[in-house]
Amino acid sequence: MVLSLDRWVGKVAVVTGASSGIGAAIVEFLVDNGIIVAGLARRSELVKEKAKQLSGKPGKLHAIKADITKEEDILNAFKWIEENLGHVHILINNAGVAKENFLRNGETADWKQTFDVNVMGLCIATREAIKIMSANNINGHIIHINSVVGHKVVPFPGINVYIASKYAVTALTETLRQELNAIDSKIKTTSISPGLVTSEMTILNTEFSEDRKNVLKSMPILKAEDIAEAVGYVLSTAENVQINELTITPVGEKI
């Protein structure tokens, strides 16, 4: 199998949660490989700064301010992309949130935000990307950045509904694959499930207690760039090859 991203050069990719961590690493990897990237984020100023850093690279990054919990923001983003950059060929649903509290006494607003970002925002962005791909006969690729906890409930108190939201991503990936198969679509779907990764959702999370961060720091951990390279691997497969699920963990992980 020859791995190459050549067929995506000059095509448009949408990356949600593009301002930091895994999203920022994915954006940089795609631009390095000649892809036009629309980076969606609430903190679009960070994406704009990244775009300046990546000027002169084979691809190009465009910053789009969007709150993934707001459907109108997502719809407006895809409209702008279609009108200004071209048809979407790749969607990487990376935006995610994890709030530290418990099911027994947690805040409803935190639970709702987790599902709005990790599930509903993902579904809306996926729908809009597939509309564009289908209308323009594009054999595109939808990639969900999932988690190992989307496949196994781990004994790690305090992450409340986060695990449930990632189980939903696992189910949604397979449901979408079956839907697309039923209509003979060649659009690919992939779930990438990392273990612990250095990001603002883990050891850099300013809302986590110091005790929780210290526990996380004591564990084997991946770099955001490791996940970006996994995205590249998935995208580089031949058109007749689909990776349904890719699980990535640091050596020695015990989750």
Tokens of 141: 């690729």
Distance CA 254, CA 74 (A): 37
Q: Is 162 a catalytic residue?
A: yes
8, 29, 111, 162: which one is catalytic? 162
- Nearest alpha carbon to residue 147 among 194, 93, 217: 194
Looking at the annotation, which residues are catalytic?
162
